[in-house]
Each structure stands twice: as C-alpha cells, then as structure tokens.
Structure 1
C-alpha cells in the first residue's frame, strides 16, 4: 500500500491541466483578449481596487455585480443568475448538483474538455457524439443519443471550442426539442465566445425552460479574474446556487468586473478589432497552399496543416506560441489553433506561416 492509494484510481490516472510557459513569446495559444488596459484605465482600476476592504468577506457589492451583469447580458426579467469562478466552476457545480446515481452528461466532440472532466470527477457517466468531418453538429446522432441515454445535462457550445464555428440553428433546435421530449434533463448553451459571434441563443432562451445559458468575462477581456455566469429559469438556477461555495467570487474580482462593465464600450471596441483581425487572418490563410482554415465565429481559428507538431515547434522556435490540438480527437488530425492577437502579433504570425506552409496540403481531412 502507498499513500497515493488514498486517492481515487481515476484521479491518479488523470493529468493536471498544463499551461505553456509563455514568457518571451507572442502568446497566441489561449484565446485571450490581447489588449492591455491603457495607463489611464490602469490608474482608475488601481484606485478602485485599493479601496476594497480586503479584511472583509465579499458582501453586498456582489449584488451590484449581479445587477450589472443582468444589464450587460440583457437577462430576461424573472430569470435566475449564478456566478462562478470562471465557467469551469459553473460546469463543476452543475455536475455536482445533478450527480444522481446513473446520471449521464452528453456533449459533442471535439469540444471543451471540462464537460467530460467535471462529469467524470463528480461520478456522472459521460457520453460523446462525434461532430461531422467538417465539424458540424450531427443532429441525427445527437438526437439518437438523447433518446437512448436520457442525459441529465447536454452541452452545446455556441461557438464551439476548439473548432470555433457556430453550429446550424436547426440542428441545435432538434437536440433541444429531443431533450424536452424526455421530460427531464437540461441543455446548457455555452456562449463563452459570444463577444466575437454574429448571434446568440439568448433570444430563444425563454421558449425553452429547460435551457440554461452560460457565459464568461474571460473572452470579454478579463481572463485573469476568472468570472463566469449562468442564467435560466430561476428555480433551476437556484439548485446550482445551493452547491456554490460561500464567497466564491472575491472582492477584487467583483470590483474588477464592475470596473470593466463600467467601461463596456472600450471592451466592445477591442472585440471589434479582434473580429476584423480574424477576417484578415482568414483571408491570408486562404492563400497558403499548406493550410486549410475552418470558419470561425470566435477569437481563434482552427487550421489543418501537413504536420501539426512540426508547425507548432517551428513557430515556437520563432517566438510564437500557438496550440497544437491534433491529439485531442481523431477529427482534429494535424490541426493547430491560432488565437487572434494584436495586429502586429498577427503580422508576425502571418510572416512565419507564409514561410512554413509553402507546400500544398497533403494531410487528409478528418473522416
């Protein structure tokens, strides 16, 4: 026997989440907003954070944040709202709240890794449905899985990570209706990348009482403060709130989020620049013989190349850090993911890719 035997076997078999060391690199690997605050905004934020009572637990100021988020997200009247330490915590809380014996979580793959990890750690069974070879939602397969497994939670990312695309609305509605026909189970629409997307599910939310909408301020421009929020029918959100740890949102995170929402126009401007840069990158990638770029509605672009590992290594050698996602799922064979950076960062990326991806694409598309 070993002290390690104290831990669950499935936990011992896991790997901790690895963050690449980005010191000295152009950092295009983590879908972050690349803009820093102006000196004037830094000074204002510093004054506000300096006045926070760090000796006290979070108090009524969290109510101000909830109200500000309701205005920002245009939350319908009567809907509940729960805050999490990033979307990751909300996914974990939802798994915990729904972890009845035999309960199942369903999601298409490739997708966000935390859906499966949180389900597994909370003792729920995870069922996945592959996307189509062009990364669209396989509505027929999803509906069949809903009917067979009767999932407690079905995740739909809108747009999806790491593929960056918005799935067909009619396909999503088929899945939503299939879950409703079961008479139980939730659908969670994950809109983490909503600031860069052309549309949102929010307008349809009131039509489906079993659908919850999840967002984050990470892509809004605040990845460092870790703040996510989920909204939906009040009595459903209340159940998630019951398992939320006390004071899970710190006073510093609360004040930083309120500061950002007070300056929403600046962050909206930044998102506009990122979307324009995304289109510039897409146009450039279309000219490269050795690249197949997929449509994007997020602040990242999925690209298939001849050799993802060597492309990643060569870019790193040139001081540019991206993400090699080829090992995440068979459909992602030889795929890399590029975060949209500042214009000068994107210039450096394009210059490097123009040199690296001269040979025509020979790697097979996913099948």
Structure 2
C-alpha cells in the first residue's frame, strides 16, 4: 500500500465506501440518564424482589455459556407459546428485541418495488428498517386526534400495495389503541393486495385489547411482542407469532444463535414467575390512571388517552418544559421532532408511585414557569 493511499482522509474513504443515505441518517438517539429519575423509555421501573434476584443469579451461573444456544431456546419458544396461548396452526420466531424482527421482516420481504407502510407518527424503526433495506417507506398521517385515517389508509394500501403494513397496538408515541372496525378493513384490504399486516403489541401488558387470539384466522397477519415492557428490557428479547408456514419462511433470514443462552434462561425464569410481573403491571396500570387524573387537572397540560405505560401530553412550549423537568432531575422524552403533529408534545413513562409523584411536581413547576414567562 502506498503512503498516499494509507494517509487518505477518512472523509474521502467514507465517501467512497459507505452508502450515501446511511451517511445522511441520524443514529437512534439514547439520552444520557445518569443522575435523573428516568421516565423516558417506557421501561418497567421495578426490579425483582431480592430472593428472586438471588435465585436468578444462581441459575444463570449454571448456564453452559461455553456452548452455542440450542435446546434451551426451543424450551423458551414452548414456554412463550403456552404463556400467550398460541393459537393452533401458529408458531413463534424469536428476535434480539423487536427491533431485530422488524429488520428481518424488511429483509425477507425485499422483492423489487416492495414498500413498507405505517401510520405516522409511529415507531421510528419501521421507517428506518425500510431505508436500511433500500425499501420505500409510506407514512400515512393519523388524524388530529391521533386516530387512524381510514380513507387515507385504504387509499394508500390500494395505491402502494405495501409488502408490510405495521399497526402498533397501542401506538408509540401516542399510546392509544386504534378503532377496531377500521383495523378490520385495513387487514382485509392488505390481504386482498397480497401483503402482510404486522401488529406490534410491545405494550400488551398495559392494553385492554390484543390481536394475538386472532392471529391464526388470517394467513397474512403476524403479531409481534417484546419482553421489554414485560419487565426485561435489558435482555433484548422479542417474539413474533403467525401461521406456521409464514413464520417458517421469514425465519430463514434469522441469523443463527441470535438469542443468547443467558437471555433465553432469564426469559424462562421470568415466565416461571409471571405472577410477579403481572403484579408489577397492575401497579403501573393503576398509576397510569392516577397520572391521567392528575394531568387532566393540571393547568397548561393536555393529556391524551393511554393504553400503554406512557402518556402523551401537549404543553405550550415543549422544549422549555422538557428543559425544566431536566433541571428538576426528571428525564422524559421530547417527541416534537418525530412528526409535525407532535408539536410541543412530551411522552411521559409511567414509573413507580414515588417517581410519578416527583414527575408531577416537576411538570407542574416547569409548566407554571413557562406560563409566567409567557404572561
């Protein structure tokens, strides 16, 4: 190698090597959270009781980490199938979080001219997976009330004939469940165009409705969930259910050993103690209702209905209120940049009773400060 080649500026090398669209992208941003009350990422705030922590630690210590994952992953799939009462004729596919499943779906469906469609605002990984796979993403705006625009969705499906249509159920970041009759029409329209519908039920532990029980009734419908909101965000485990023949085809693009044996064992342990996680979810649902009541009574705050472990609020100056919360030690998510319809919107994660009380006090003070400056 000549010295001139070796000393070539990195910018020149990147220009010649990396895709232009990748260079123009922004990486998925994770806010630094050290020192804050962390209510920005829809995590379950509860840890396991000490006795279960000790039991889990001993169990993980016995795992054969010198071997590739094998039969224990199959045991996990069987335990998950039992946990969700998987319909007959369906099977499961595991992913390193839902993010990997979303990426693998784009990879599996990358036929010439394929498109991915989803309501917007929605989960950013739907559009990102399309871009990274070289597919066109079609975003269909929600109504002003963050409901599905039935006419616009059906028109977009007919025009674009998407390979994949995502329905986040509940939606992120708006936290609401969409109208059932509209969804039925979308499922039928996508089926008539030979596409797939993927229900993303990441927030199922906090939701009053699910499509899991109906997944076997259609040969083009998949339901995706994650154990992150269940209480295991740190182990990165997602799963997708659907007709066995369809899952078998998509599973062909999954990397071998994509789920570690430690993650599988931790997930099995959690499912064996599902009652503890159900207890935690019940507390969070009750706290969500308490938060909603307090937010609805707070001057200068518009709160939106929620079926998740987050609440979307709109204030007069989202950036200033976000900064005010940080100054008071509370970290939430400013989602205004995700879509124009989210102007001045903040997303609040439901935390422990103590965290929620701190957040409410900080929010009230920050909003009041903004209102005083504007008056």
Q: Secondary structure at the match of 2:122?
A: coil
Q: Distance in 2 between matches of 1:42 and 1:350?
A: 31
Q: CA deviation at 1:24?
A: 1.0
1:82 pairs with 93, 110, 118, which one?
A: 93
Q: CA deviation at 1:360?
A: 10
1:17 match: 28
Q: CA deviation at 1:48?
A: 0.6
1:192 paired to 2:194: no
Q: Would you say the 8 A contact 2:219–2:246 is kept in 1?
A: no
2:177 pairs with 166, 175, 180, which one?
A: 166
2:240 pairs with 214, 230, 240, which one?
A: 230
Q: Distance in 2 between matches of 1:352 and 1:62?
A: 44
1:202 paired to 2:206: no
2:258 match: 248
2:84 match: 73
Q: CA deviation at 1:139?
A: 1.1
Structure-to-structure mapping, 1:1-367, within 5 angstroms: 2-5=12-15, 6-182=17-193, 184-358=194-368
* Bigger radius of gyration among the two: 2
* TM-superposition CA deviations, 1:15-42 (whole Å, max 9, x none): 1112111111100000000001111111
Q: Secondary structure at the match of 2:337?
A: coil
- Measured on the aligned residues, the alpha-carbon RMSD in Å equals 1.2
Q: CA deviation at 1:203?
A: 2.7
Q: Distance in 2 between matches of 1:229 and 1:205?
A: 14
1:364 match: none
Q: CA deviation at 1:356?
A: 2.4
Where does the alignment leave 5 or more consecutive residues of structure 2 unmatched? 1-10
In the superposition, the TM-score normalised over structure 1's length comes to 0.96
Q: Distance in 1 between matches of 2:85 and 2:98?
A: 19
Q: Secondary structure at the match of 2:40?
A: coil
Q: Distance in 2 between matches of 1:204 and 1:172?
A: 13
* TM-superposition CA deviations, 1:27-73 (whole Å, max 9, x none): 00000000011111110010010001111100111111000000111
Q: State the 4+ residue runs in structure 1 displaced beyond 4 angstroms.
A: none
**If each structure's helix is expressed as a fraction of its own residues, which one has the higher value?**
2
Q: Distance in 2 between matches of 1:52 and 1:206?
A: 35
Q: Distance in 2 between matches of 1:82 and 1:243?
A: 11
Q: Would you say the 8 A contact 1:288–1:358 is kept in 2?
A: no
In the superposition, the TM-score normalised over structure 2's length comes to 0.94
Q: Distance in 2 between matches of 1:205 and 1:261?
A: 21
Q: Distance in 1 between matches of 2:266 and 2:181?
A: 38
Q: Distance in 2 between matches of 1:85 and 1:294?
A: 31
Q: CA deviation at 1:359?
A: 8.0
Q: Would you say the 8 A contact 1:52–1:251 is kept in 2?
A: yes
* TM-superposition CA deviations, 1:68-87 (whole Å, max 9, x none): 00011111122121000000
Q: CA deviation at 1:240?
A: 1.3
